[in-house]
Amino acid sequence: MKNYKELMNYLYSGVSLNDSKYENVSLALHKLIKMDIVEKTKNKRFFLNSIIKVPKVIENLPKRIANQRKILEKCGYKNLFEDENEKCLKFSTSFRLVVGLGAGHVLENSLALHHIFGIPYIPSSALKGVVRMASFWEIFEKENKKSDKEIEDKEVEDLQKQVYDNEISNFDNEDILKHKLLFGTQNFKGLLIFFDAFPEIQENQEIFELDVMTPHYSKYYTQNQLPGDWENPNPIVFLTVKKGINFCFNVLFDKFRAEEICKNKNFSQEVKKIIEEWLSNSSNLSNLVKNWIEAALKEYGVGAKTRLGYGIFE
């Protein structure tokens, strides 16, 4: 290959990335690539550099999400962030974000890209999981005043058994009961519904950034051999969402089912009392969920490599 443009044209069998003829980054990353050529030329970085811009964005995406909220509100759901600007919470990435890094891909590492819109996003399941974790640790801190060094694994396990079992009706701990009502159990559907979180981006905006991880002992991880300094480091280039990208977060409350629970004789008075309070004063519930989301995004992070600072918002 004589130059970068010729390499890209060959990789894509005539689809020119430099001329921005592709419209969906997800298709470019997962369908168009010829892995045999990438491996031979060792030009994964060239390939990934060619898609750091989002060529085309669904212009009415915010309107679509707003319409989705309106439809669900007609079905008995309540927007918890009705009083917020644009009726959703907004946070900005304070460092790189990578969701779906471990998904199967010919380039060894992947990135969660919406298969229709072709843009990076945070799946609702990932968001709900980290918010649920923030709620759990808030309960643990209230129950346990010890320092981190004094906490024993059994204390965490005991609380996990209480929080994650299927019992919903009879509980002395109000915080655990609220957690179960909102996030659900194996036998009870939670009263919160989380939307996928999408970024606020413009057409041809550079929202991606390349990063590198360098495993030094590949045979130790893949072939169960003893690690040794005679092995060659293996740099792996992967795609991330860069710092400073705004994401919108939407959460709804299942008001219809909450009202039905209050009429149901199978639920305890403690459960009904909590739900009636949420129905009469939704601002308390909104603040509770907002604090959980803020703690989840600012303290714990979402996606992969959070211990290294990835997926943290501000």
Question: Which among 100, 97, 124, 116 is positioned nearest to 25, based on CA atoms?
Answer: 116
Supply 289's token pair. Answer: 């969920």
Q: Is residue 120 part of a domain?
A: yes
Q: Is residue 27 part of a domain?
A: no
What is the model's pTM? 0.85
pLDDT along the chain (314 residues), means of 10: 52 45 74 58 68 72 90 95 89 95 76 87 96 94 70 80 78 87 93 95 85 83 81 83 95 96 90 94 94 97 92 96
Q: What is the pLDDT of residue 12?
A: 47
Q: What is the pLDDT of residue 42?
A: 56
Please tell me the total count of domains within the chain. Answer: 1
Task: Give the structural domain span for 211.
Answer: 52-308
- 252 with 74: CB under 8 angstroms? no
DSSP state of 297: I
Q: Is residue 104 part of a domain?
A: yes
- What whole-number distance in Å separates Cα of residue 297 and Cα of residue 314? 8
Q: Is residue 70 part of a domain?
A: yes
- 33 with 106: CB under 8 angstroms? yes
Q: Is residue 292 part of a domain?
A: yes
Q: Is residue 29 part of a domain?
A: no
Largest CA distance in the chain: 76
Residue 128: which residues within 8 A CB-CB, separation 6 or more?
A: 183, 192, 194
- What whole-number distance in Å separates Cα of residue 227 and Cα of residue 230? 9
Q: What is the pLDDT of residue 33?
A: 66
φ, ψ of residue 90 in degrees (nearest 5): -125, 130
